[in-house]
Each structure stands twice: as structure tokens, then as C-alpha cells.
């Protein structure tokens, strides 16, 4: 079949993307004990004292998903919840001292490195790449999937974040 080499090349390219995302997610988990979504939430909390809703908007996840991630990070000793002083109904998120130490050593997620390289491309090339990727999504019957803009093989069903213990 004449199309076989082209077919194989396309499938291999798609597979390489899947594999790279999965490898990166596993490596981050091994190195940090955290999933990509947990890392993104920690980084969002490090920007100030946001609410779950504000973090949700920053990391493009639902408030329910962010709440579950925050629960795990809180159990791991990396995040604390505190009531607002002006409005006791409002709950603010803060990093614990262990959380601050963890954020200071976090590697950049794959998507940050990818986006830096993507932004270096000419605008017309970026639009062409987006068009090609959207076409692949349609060919894979995945257009109706609502997913956050996060390159990760993990989701919010991952195990709890372990408690970070600085080296002694």
C-alpha cells in the first residue's frame, strides 16, 4: 500500500506526543511527588492568597476539581486554608512553609517549555499548527471533549500529595 509509510509516520508522531506527555508526568511525580495539576495549583496559590474560585480560573479546572486537589495538598502539608478577616465566609489559600520550599524547587511543566518554543514561531506558523492539530482532533472524534489547556497524563484522581520533608 502506497499510504503505509505516511500512515505510520502520522501515527508515530501522535504516539510520540502521547508518550512524551506521559513520561514527563511520571518524571515530575518521581522528582516532586506531585502531579502536574497539583503543581499548577501550588504555583497559582503562590501568587497571593487566592480563593478556590480564583485558582480554578488560573489553572482552567473546575472549582470542584481544584477543591479536591487542594484537599490533597492540604493533607500533604503544602497548602493551608484560612478564613478571610473581612468576610469569614471567604476561604483563602496560602502556602505553608513546606509549600513555599516546594514551589521554589519545582521544575517547569512541559507545557511551559512547549509554549515558550511555540511563541517563538512566526504567527502564521502558529496558526497553521493549531489548524493541523484541530484537524487531528476532529479525525479522532475528540472535538466534543472539554479539557483544560494542561499537558498532563494525570487528572484529579491521582493519589494524595506526599508531605514534603526538607532534607536534614
> How confident is the model over 108-167, as pLDDT tens digits?
889 889 999 999 999 999 999 999 999 999 999 999 988 888 888 866 544 444 445 444
Distance CA 146, CA 75 (A): 29
Confidence at residue 168, expressed as pLDDT on a 0 to 100 scale? 36
CA distance 66 to 150: 14
Domain ranges of the chain: 34-105, 108-144
3: helix, strand or coil:
coil
Q: Selecting from 1.10.10.10, 3.40.50.2300, 2.40.50.140, 3.40.50.300, what CATH number does the domain 34-105 have?
A: 1.10.10.10
How much is the pTM? 0.78
The predicted structure's pLDDT at residue 155 = 62
In tens, the pLDDT along 51-110 reads: 999 999 999 989 999 999 999 999 999 999 988 777 767 889 999 999 999 999 998 889
H or E element: which one contains 49?
none
Distance CA 56, CA 115 (A): 20
Amino acid at each position: 500500500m502506497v499510504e503505509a509509510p505516511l500512515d505510520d509516520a502520522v501515527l508515530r508522531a501522535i504516539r510520540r506526543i502521547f508518550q512524551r506527555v506521559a513520561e514527563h508526568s511520571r518524571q515530575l511525580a518521581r522528582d516532586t511527588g506531585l502531579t502536574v495539576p497539583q503543581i499548577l495549583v501550588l504555583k497559582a496559590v503562590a501568587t497571593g492568597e487566592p480563593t478556590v474560585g480564583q485558582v480554578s480560573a488560573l489553572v482552567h479546572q473546575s472549582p470542584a476539581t481544584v477543591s479536591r486537589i487542594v484537599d490533597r495538598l492540604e493533607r500533604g502539608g503544602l497548602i493551608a486554608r484560612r478564613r478571610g478577616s473581612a468576610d469569614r465566609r471567604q476561604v483563602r489559600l496560602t502556602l505553608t512553609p513546606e509549600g513555599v520550599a516546594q514551589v521554589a524547587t519545582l521544575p517547569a511543566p512541559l507545557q511551559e517549555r512547549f509554549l515558550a518554543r511555540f511563541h517563538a514561531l512566526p504567527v502564521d506558523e502558529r496558526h497553521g499548527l493549531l489548524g493541523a492539530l484541530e484537524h487531528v482532533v476532529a479525525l479522532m472524534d475528540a472535538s466534543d471533549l472539554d479539557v483544560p489547556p494542561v499537558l498532563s497524563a494525570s487528572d484529579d484522581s491521582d493519589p494524595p500529595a506526599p508531605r514534603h520533608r526538607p532534607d536534614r
